[in-house]
Every structure is written in structure tokens, then in C-alpha cells.
Structure 1
Amino acid sequence: MTTRPMGELATRSLVGTGLIVVAVLALWAGGWAFGLLVALAAVAMLVEWHGLTRRRGLHWLAIGIVYIASSAAALTWLRSLDDGAIVLWVFIVTWATDILAYFTGRSFGGPKLAPSISPGKTWSGLIGGVIGASIGGGLVVHLCGLATGLLLLAPLLAVAAQCGDLFESSLKRRAGVKDSGKLLPGHGGVLDRLDGLLPVALLTGLAYFSGWIAV
């Protein structure tokens, strides 16, 4: 796995922390503040998606609209179900997956997960992400009194988050670019930062909407 310069790691950490603070504050505020943040993020991701897929036909733009809009709608709907605990669970599962996968992969290395798509990702990183999501998600379930079915869902969604990351990496590889954009120093584009959140939000929304997980 490629080692990042310390300056880049510091920038990545600072920007990442700032994004988490903004997301949590908007989640706590709810209402128009949360809806506005989700809408802005969705528009930014769709612009970046179009930049990555514009040479592959309009059907790819349609796919992006459906994928991003449905994930954003699921996140907004989940926020309306309670005081924000469910969306907090979604955030924690996604963040824990990203963070633990990154540091576990750097620490242990080992066999590559999908070398032709994302050479830096390893099976050890995936396992670390699953463990992180299970622990982080479990803590939110316990502290917020959420449905116990989420304990089973967390490790599955950790895998989904990694698949979302790999899917976006495949789009970038086909487009011949390193990042989806340049809006977030140390991270690239908004889609680079939220590629794992999209499937987690969408699948969690489907789990609640179908009644598989009770409110």
C-alpha cells in the first residue's frame, strides 16, 4: 500500500474531522439544515459522477441520478423517523468502516482485495472495516436503544461500503483520473468521500422501509 506523505495525512485528517463535525451538527439540527447539507452533497456528487461517466453515454448519467438521489432520499427519510439516532448509526458504520479499513490495511497489508480496480485495498483492510463497523454500530445501538437487527446489518453494510468504494474506483479508472474532483483537500472530490455512504444509506433505508428493521 502506498504511504502518504505526513503533510497529506495531516490535511486529510483535518478536512475529514471538519466534515464529520459539519455532518453531526446538521444531523443534530435536523429540518432544513440537514436537508440542505444532503442536497448540496448530492448535487456535488452528481456533477462529479457526470464528469467521470460523460464519455460512456447518457444512460450512465441516469444511473447516477437514480443511485445518488435514492441514497439522499433514504438518508433524509431516515432522519425523519426519530431524533437522528438512525442516521447517526449510518454515519458511524460508514466512518468506522473507512477508518478501520484504512489503518488495518496499512498495518497488516497482505493479499489485495481487487488489485485491478484499487491496488491499495487489501483483505485485511476489509476485515478491519467489518470489525470497526460492528463495534461502532453496536455501540450506537446500545447507547441509543435502536433495533437489535442493526447488529446483524452493520457487518453486511461494511462490505457494502467497501463495494461502493470499489465501484467508484472503477469509474475513476475507466475515466483515467485519480480523484472524482478537487473540492476536498486530501480527499479529492465529494464522491471520493461519500462513495461508501451511498450504499449504506440506501440499504438501511430499504431495511426500514420494508419492515425488516423496526423503528
Structure 2
Amino acid sequence: MTPTSNRWADLRPRMLSAAVLASVGAVEIWSGGWTFSVLVILLIAFMLWELGAMTRPPAIKRESRIPQTRSAAAMGVLGGVCLAISLYSPREFSAALLLVPALAFALTPRRDRRLSALWAAGAMIAGFGLITLRNDAGTAAIVWIVLVVVVSDVMGYFAGRILGGPKFWPAISPKKTWSGTAAGWVGAVAVGAVFWSMGYAPAGILLLSPLVAFAGQMGDIAESWIKRRTGVKDSSNLIPGHGGFMDRFDAMTGAVVLVMLLSLVIALPLPVGG
């Protein structure tokens, strides 16, 4: 196999998996309601399970692997339950519930407690944000975030492999290049321009879109940092071509967290409708 074919070896399973995920996501985003909430809750639960499995301490004895596996599963269940309850709780109580899994990661034996606790908090905020944005702002806001993340990721993927060039952060994410990063920002602006030109969002979306894309890229890098420090290639093998749910939704996590944090201090030019 030539170096060129090696470069694109993961493209077919990656595209097929992306098509399935996109189809399921599109149906649920359009329908909204409790099925969308359940989908997001399950997504966050799987992500926290993967995080718990990656950061668990090395097994000293064979028999110690069983409780460690159960501990990772417990993290996923805890995250899902806390997120579900937070949706029907007063906002101040919801904020406390969203931090419970982070506290559990910080207080249990594992590698990189602080880093895993921060990621757990981000995942919970992202899950809560996706559901509340869909309920409060409508379909357009979620579609915009998804398109910003997907388009910036796809353009970054192809630009990075075709153009190459200096690495963005080689110590943590050796495959990312500045050319791919810049292409991702351009793609995000293009997505924002479409929503603005169609009258779904004010002109401020042109500035917000690349910021959200950058937050998504940093979410990707943060997950790469966790994998690098824990010595794993993928968060799991549940999604062919993408690894696990953390691998696929790390950028979405960073993007939604930024939107939620910014919304606490300023009125965002989010798309409305649907």
C-alpha cells in the first residue's frame, strides 16, 4: 500500500459511520422532544463511561479489573441520571447536579483526576446545553452548531492532509496542522454567512461561528491530551472509523460549552426558528 493510500485508509469507514450518525442526529434534531433528550442523555452517559475507562488506574491484579470496569460504567450511569434530573430541576439545582460527575471523577482513584473532572463537567454542560438550546431556541440553533463543527472538521481534515504544513499543537495532537485549523475557521464563517443571508441570524453570527469552531477544535485537542496522557489511541471502538463517542463528539462538547458560557454574560446572535 502506497503512502498516499495509507493517508486515506480510514476515510471509507469514517464516512459510513458519519452518515449513520448524521442520519440519526438529523431525525432527532428535527423531531426534538423527549426522544432527542434521551439520545443526548445516552450520548453523555457513553462519553463518561469512556472517560472512566480511559482514566482508571492500571490493574495491579487480574481480579481488580472487574471493579474498575464497573466503576467506569457507574460514571456513565451517574452522568445520565444527573443530566436527566437536571432537566426538570430549578436552574440553581441543575448547575449543582451537572457538577456531580466531575466531583466523582475528582474524588475516585484514577489517572489525571483534575483533567478528567474538567472534561466530565464540560460533557455535562454540553449535554444540558444541547437539550435546552433545542427546546428554547429551536432547530436552527442546533443545526447551526452541528454544521459549524462538522464543516470545520471536514475542511480541516482535507486541508490538513492535502496542504500539510506546520503542526498546530504537535505535543498533544500531532495530526492537526495550521492549514487545517485555518480551513476550519473559513468553513465556520461560511456556515454563519449562510444563516445570516437566509435571515435566520444577525450579522454577529459571522464572528460567533469561527469562535465556536475554535472552541470545538480545542475540545478535540483536550480529548487528544487525555488519550495521550492515558496511553490510548481511541476512547473506545464503538464507532468504526471514529473510535468512541468522545472521539466523535469532543469538538461538539467544546463548541456547546462555549455557547453556554457566553450566553451567561452576553446575548448571543444565535439562529432562531424551527
Query: TM above 0.5, one fold?
Result: yes
Q: Deviations over 1:116-158 (max 9, x none)?
A: 1121110000000000111023213433512332221111121
AA aligned opposite 1:105: G
Aligned pair count? 215
Q: Which moved more, 1:89-98 or 1:46-55?
A: 46-55
CA distance 1:110–1:24, shift in 2 (3 Å): same
- What is the SS of the residue equivalent to 2:48? helix
Q: CA deviation at 1:58?
A: 4.9
Bigger CA radius of gyration:
2
1:199 aligns to 2:254 (yes or no): yes
Aligned equivalent of 2:220, options 165, 179, 185: 165
Tell me which of 11, 34, 37 is aligned to 2:36: 34
CA distance 1:153–1:2, shift in 2 (3 Å): farther
| Deviation by residue 1:22-61 (Cα, 9 ceiling, x = unmatched) | 1111000000111011111100111111122223265555
- Cα distance in 2 for residues equivalent to 1:177 and 1:2: 25
Task: Work out the CA distance in 2 between the residues paired with 1:49 and 1:104.
Answer: 29
1:68 pairs, out of 123, 140, 155, with 123
Higher alpha-carbon deviation: 58-67 or 181-190:
58-67
Q: CA 1:24 to 1:4, structure 2 compared with 1: closer, same or farther past 3 Å?
A: farther
Mapped partners of 1:209, 1:75: distance in 2: 15
- What is the aligned partner in structure 2 of residue 139 from structure 1? 194
Alignment of 1:114-193 (within 5 A): 114-143=169-198, 145-193=200-248
Task: Report the alpha carbon displacement of residue 179 of structure 1 after superposing the two structures with TM.
Answer: 0.4
Answering whether residue 58 of structure 2 is matched by residue 53 of structure 1, we say no
* Aligned residues with identical type, % of pairs: 38
- CA distance 1:175–1:91, shift in 2 (3 Å): same
Is the contact made by 2:156 and 2:181 (CA closer than 8 Å) also made in structure 1? yes
Higher relative contact order (CA 8 A, sep 6+): 1
Distance 2:9 2:19 in 1: 15
Could you tell which deviates more after superposition, 199-208 or 56-65? 56-65
In the TM superposition, what is the alpha-carbon distance from 1:74 to its structure 2 partner? 0.9
Q: CA RMSD in A?
A: 2.0
> Which one is further off, 21-30 or 146-155?
146-155
Bigger Cα displacement from structure 2, 155-164 vs 104-113: 155-164
Letter of the 2:205 counterpart: L
Q: Which residue of 1 aligns with 2:132?
A: 77
* Unpaired stretches in structure 1, ≥5 consecutive residues: none
- Native 8 Å contact 1:75 1:202 kept in 2: no
Distance 1:4 1:194 in 2: 25
Go from structure 1 to structure 2 and tell me whether the alpha carbon gap of 1:4 and 1:179 turns closer, same or farther (over 3 Å shift).
farther
Give the unaligned 5+ runs of structure 2.
Answer: 57-109
Q: For 2:178 and 2:48, how far apart are their aligned partners in 1? A: 30
For residues 9 and 155 of structure 1, the distance between their equivalents in structure 2, rounded to whole angstroms, comes to: 25
- Whether 2:25 is the aligned partner of 1:8: answer no
Distance 1:6 1:125, change over 3 A: closer
Query: 1:30 and 1:113, CA in 2 relative to 1: closer, same or farther beyond 3 A?
Result: same
Q: Distance in 2 between matches of 1:119 and 1:143?
A: 38
SS of alignment partner, residue 195 of structure 1:
helix
Given that 1:78 and 1:86 are in contact with CA atoms closer than 8 Å, whether structure 2 keeps it comes out as: yes
Change (3 A) 1:80 1:67: same
- Cα distance in 2, alignment partners of residues 140 and 214 from structure 1: 11
